[in-house]
Amino acid sequence: IAERVAVVGAGPDGGSEFGSVRSVLLDARGFLYVLDPSNVQVSVYDETGAFRQHLGRKGAGPGEYRSPYSIALLGDSIALSDPSLSRISLIGPDGAWLREWPTPPNTGPQAVRLYRTPPQSFWAYATIFARSGLERVFIRYEASGPTDTLPIPKSSVTAGTGITCNSPNRSISFYSQPFGATPIAVPTPQGERAVAVSSAYRISFLGRSGDTLRALERDVTAPRLSDAEWAEATEKWQAFRRKLPAAHCTKDGFERPPVRPLLGMIFFDDEQRMWVEVFTATGQQYDVYDPKGSLVGTVNGLPPSSGIEPSVAAGRIALVVQDSLDEQVVHVFRIRPGEP
């Protein structure tokens, strides 16, 4: 069962204290780290949710960052990815700068982040130059630095072609396919890749050469897509067509899927267990698997990830939540095993 123990970021006026939240992290003490790229800061909160300090500061020197992007644990230290400075910095729990590693330039969606496989490593998304041209890879980091590289598997499934429109004023607009099936690929603590498609509950584990080592599946009914959800998801596209009916678009509209995607994020906790965010016909849940791939539990009562990787450590989970004003705050829950 999940019991909420803290809400972080809710301001006294009801709004959020954060400009935006891109990454959250819990450590073994129950301390919470919140990365806010809009305010260019990483805020630290204790196990009660009380503010303790800012980690590092804005700048380009040691222990500083210009565009904080993602954070992960490496032992008891914090790794921070800063694409604008093309580096990953390692900062001690007391805030002291320890070292840094250069990285290829990288920015983009949430897939471009640090992937957590604690306690002694994490992986970083990167685009590198190879003999065959640009290649997308995961790079594994340990205390000694980068140690391993895995290619990111290519998927024949995309989120849909979307719609591109050329307006009479020569501006270009793009609208992605709502509720489209999306490929999922994450590195595992064992040096494999867990891959899936959001429309089906089947997760395959690929070895270094790309061969399927094993797979897990569950028979779960996907949630139906309601009229209200479809109308909300396509409102910007519909508003554009109403405003600019003369715009030339690649398609006349979106094909509505009968159901919503089944899978959300896949991530790992501090005991190397895999968490799978699942959307079912009866509600949302997180399925938890041990390192051998056996289902050890299902956690209900948690909010959706909203596309930002949750963090699980010391029996707690932190998630980014949209509040009643549609602003971002962080909720921390204690997970009590063995209860319904």
What is the rounded distance in angstroms from the CA atom of residue 130 to the CA atom of residue 151? 11
**3-class secondary structure, 252:** coil
- Radius of gyration of the chain from its Cα atoms, rounded to whole angstroms: 21
Q: Taking phi first (over 0 means left), then psi (-120 to 50 degrees means alpha), and beta for anything else, what does residue 9 get?
A: left
Q: Would you state the pLDDT for residue 132? A: 74
Can you point out the beta strands (E) in 188-268? 193-197, 202-206, 212-217, 248-249, 263-268
| Cα–Cα distance list, 72 to 141, 193, 235, 238 (Å) | 11, 18, 36, 40
Q: Would you state the pLDDT for residue 107? A: 66
Task: With CA atoms as reference, report the closest residue to 312 among 278, 267, 277.
Answer: 267
Q: Which residues of the chain have pLDDT under 50?
A: 159, 339-340
Backbone angles phi, psi at 84, to 5 degrees: -70, -30
Q: Would you state the pLDDT for residue 130? A: 75
Backbone angles phi, psi at 237, to 5 degrees: -65, -45
What is the rounded distance in angstroms from the CA atom of residue 311 to the CA atom of residue 291? 17
Q: Residues 40-94: pLDDT tens digits?
A: 999 999 999 999 999 988 999 988 999 999 999 999 999 999 999 999 999 998 8
> What is the distance in angstroms between the CA of the first residue and the CA of the last residue of the chain?
6
The pTM of this model reads: 0.92
Q: Would you state the pLDDT for residue 340? A: 40
Q: Residues 124-160: pLDDT tens digits?
A: 999 887 777 788 999 999 999 999 999 998 876 654 5
**Owner of token pair 């270094």:** 208
Task: With CA atoms as reference, report the closest residue to 306 among 271, 279, 339.
Answer: 279
